[in-house]
Amino acid sequence: MDTKRIGAVCAMLTALCGCATGAPRGYVNAEAWGANYTEDYIHQFAIETADGQETQLEGVQVKPFSNGGTGGVECGSPIPGVGQMIRIVWRVGGYNEPDELWKTYSKAVRVTGTISKRAGMQSALIVRFFPEHEIEAEFVPMDRDARANIRDDQLFYGRRVMRQMGE
């Protein structure tokens, strides 16, 4: 193989693997989706490592259950994978309340679920908010028909179906 072909192959491999090269072993590239089963308005939530380091993955403006229970989807970032502990920090307050009246909560949870097995395909981390400031975090792969998977929250399809922890 000549030098030009070797260079082309190296360039292609770098482009294909570019997103994964900076992620520590055992991390997953994921988007953050919020599913809110409370009447709290969640201004923002952030995913941290178990020891409190920021991952740069956040979710924003998660509406109360009675208003749809979902929020904005944030683009991907590498985070600890299935079976690992993460810390979720979230801010709750009235939609028009000043920041100083918002309350901040933080909780460590073990990530459950499954991730995409296709190279280059992201997974979604669904963070579910329940009454009494309980939360859970679950990966779902994004490389299949989501409506066929019972693990997906119906809130994402416009159906207000209440869910309980562990379901």
Dihedral (Cα; 99, 103, 104, 110), 10-degree rounding: -140
Residue 107 CB partners (closer than 8 Å, separation 6+):
87, 88, 133, 134, 135
Instruction: Give me the residue spans of the domains in the chain.
Output: 23-157
Per 3-state DSSP, the chain is made up of helix, strand and coil in percentages (nearest 5) of 20, 40, 40
Average pLDDT, rounded, for the chain:
81
pLDDT digits (tens, 9 = 90+) for 115-148: 887 777 788 999 999 999 999 999 988 876 544 4
Residue 29 CB partners (closer than 8 Å, separation 6+):
19, 20, 23, 76, 77, 78, 122, 123
| Predicted structure pTM score | 0.79
Edge-to-edge, what's the strand order for the sheet holding 103-110?
A: 54-62, 42-49, 85-92, 103-110
Angle value at C-alpha 42, between 39 and 47, nearest 5 degrees: 135
Residues 102, 92: Cα–Cα separation, whole Å:
5
> Residue 163 — pLDDT band, cuts 50, 70, 90?
confident
